[in-house]
Structure 1
């Protein structure tokens, strides 16, 4: 299990500290000349998690989506005192505004009427705010969040993430406005959940794991709405023990993402083990 965790952290640039958010994009990703196909008319915007960045969080999922014929884009948002390689630190309202501008940029470049948004961890919360309060519902067809989080997490959950990412006090409050907003009952979460997270228009797919020790409880990533589908990994793939970070490279998560974007995609569960949170 440790053998799977080490390359995952390396992929996030969290062991050696040498990877950068400006690393060369994976082939087929952030190609502003990409023309969406009739089969996949919406470009896909990928939104990374807390303490991560676009190129590294989606080193696996981005090329997977591109190989299935999607125009794929990602950004790094919410950077702060740790520089351009560590995102998601700023207030989530600010990050949602940054996402809004990026979606507009992608739509203008591709000529598409709407985009699909897929996010990991904070990459579910920020888009949810964008959809509800910044006009995103009119511009997004499908929204998928994995390792999703709409109701916050405990201090233990934030501490677990900080320990895994070797970011110490930054992800437990100092220099991380988003961390404070993630505490249950925060003004941000109260506003997001008032009247329900979902708004009419987009479809919502929430993917969570019972073994998530960062989003605690893991049920913070699900909600009930007429246009929402909740997927607990272990309810469908019982041999999948993936936690929080591992969902970024989990083939089962990738299958559920593909199916949410195009229901004709088959979901075939594979055993996958992860020692991470």
Structure 2
């Protein structure tokens, strides 16, 4: 079968990275996402914020609603935001590693989660912040769920698989080894859906990347080794703000995982996008502060 028919992500190495990063979750009570989130100040039903919109965090492939946000969620909470995350793309028998199921189903889960957050907070809109698949999948939600664009003010995508990935050329193995794509698809449809040229991404991007009424920001690092080439993460459409961290500070060496997990420059850019009226320039100082 031709390479172009295989969907997005072919990320065996990312699955391994996500697995290593998820090990701390095993020490949590019950190994669940809620255990950590409850102690981190987010996912609180009685949250009162100085900001008009709650923030919905959308995790990446092989991660979950806690693992992906151990850095950014507390950072936002400390700055007065009400923050909510959940798991999506779960597969049977995998209690920690999520974001692996069909992206269309994850999109429907996000739709339900947004509605739950709006109902719980009484807000009219949310802001969505996503990492990797979590930066791309909300575009499916916005384009395919009626009324979604009226519920979302902004989408801030950190290292998103906007146009899929070549995984540093490794996805070429899908053509070289017959049956490999089917094997990966059987394990994780979302991985295969994120390969550059997939049917899923071709359809998603065919009529444009954005929808009217939603503000878009993309934050990327040139050292991304998972979503490659890194510039394919950007959205070349009017009104979209594309940020390369190394343009702000050449000393930044974050790669795909750390840009979403620990990078305080990326975090500062997220806050700038959430509240442009009070935005402050991001520079090398924000690597540490």
TM-score, length-scaled by structure 2 = 0.81
Which of 138, 145, 150 in structure 2 is aligned with 1:134?
145
Q: 2:196 aligns to what?
A: 184
Task: Give me the whole-angstrom Cα distance separating, in 2, the residues matched to 1:170 and 1:259.
Answer: 42
1:47 offset after TM fit, Å?
0.4
| Structure 1, unpaired ranges of 5+ | 1-7, 160-168
Report the CA distance shift for 1:256/1:82 in structure 2 as closer, same or farther (over 3 A): farther
Establish whether residue 206 from structure 1 lines up as the match of residue 218 from structure 2.
yes
Task: Give me the whole-angstrom Cα distance separating, in 2, the residues matched to 1:170 and 1:236.
Answer: 41
Task: Give me the whole-angstrom Cα distance separating, in 2, the residues matched to 1:60 and 1:133.
Answer: 30
Pairs within 5 Å for 1:27-176: 27-37=40-50, 40-135=51-146, 136-156=148-168, 172-176=184-188
Structure 1 runs of 4+ aligned residues shifted over 6 Å read 8-11
Deviates more, 1:144-153 or 1:102-111: 144-153
Task: Give me the whole-angstrom Cα distance separating, in 2, the residues matched to 1:121 and 1:79.
Answer: 16
Q: 2:13 aligns to what?
A: none
Contact 2:54 2:84 in 1 (8 A): yes
Rg larger for:
2
Q: 1:3 aligns to what?
A: none
Contact 2:55 2:81 in 1 (8 A): yes
Establish whether residue 253 from structure 1 lines up as the match of residue 271 from structure 2.
no
List per-residue Cα deviations over 1:200-248 (Å, max 9, x = no partner): 0110000111110100111221112223111111111111011100112
Give the RMSD, CA atoms, in angstroms: 2.5
| Structure 2, unpaired ranges of 5+ | 1-16, 172-180
Report the CA distance shift for 1:107/1:171 in structure 2 as closer, same or farther (over 3 A): farther
Task: Give me the whole-angstrom Cα distance separating, in 2, the residues matched to 1:15 and 1:172.
Answer: 26
Report the CA distance shift for 1:95/1:122 in structure 2 as closer, same or farther (over 3 A): same
Contact 1:137 1:199 in 2 (8 A): yes
Establish whether residue 12 from structure 1 lines up as the match of residue 21 from structure 2.
yes
SS in 2 for 1:205: strand
Establish whether residue 265 from structure 1 lines up as the match of residue 284 from structure 2.
no
Q: 1:217 aligns to what?
A: 229
SS in 1 for 2:66: helix
Greater RCO (CA < 8 Å, at least 6 residues apart): 2
TM-score, length-scaled by structure 1 = 0.85
1:173 offset after TM fit, Å?
4.0
